[in-house]
Amino acid sequence: MSLLRQLRKDEVLSVLTAVTDDRYQRCRELVANDPRDEFTTTEAPAVLLRENLEPKHRIARTRGKILHGDDELLVALADLGAELVTGVFVDSEGQHVALYLRATTLEPVGCVIVEEGPRA
């Protein structure tokens, strides 16, 4: 069961600004460019989220999409088990961003950026 939650854009950017990991820099830029002031997010146990994302990521790759950060995210979700994770989703500059945070602390769990692959 997923729970809905509102997160203000400044909250999300504050969390991302505090992270020193370079993997989150592009994610931060794309979230900053989003015109919304807040995001409606969902909360779900990490283990269920991982079970749902694995096949979706596999299908996206077969359709020519390029995913950045997905392997790291899946490992992190496996480590979190039943802990609740919330997702923030942004479409910007032709890329889809899926940022996942621990629901209780808003600590980043992972960020996946999906973009179109090269056209044949």
Mean pLDDT of the residues in the chain: 91
Residue 118 has pLDDT above 80, yes or no: no
Predicted TM-score (pTM) of this structure: 0.90
- Domain hosting residue 107, numbered range: 3-116
Number of compact structural domains in the chain: 1
What would the mean pLDDT of 27-42 be, rounded to a whole number? 93
Residue 119 has pLDDT above 90, yes or no: no
C-alpha distances in angstroms, 105 versus 45, 56, 61, 116? 14, 26, 31, 32
Condensed to tens digits (0 to 9), the pLDDT of residues 53-91 reads 999 999 999 999 999 999 999 999 999 999 999 999 999
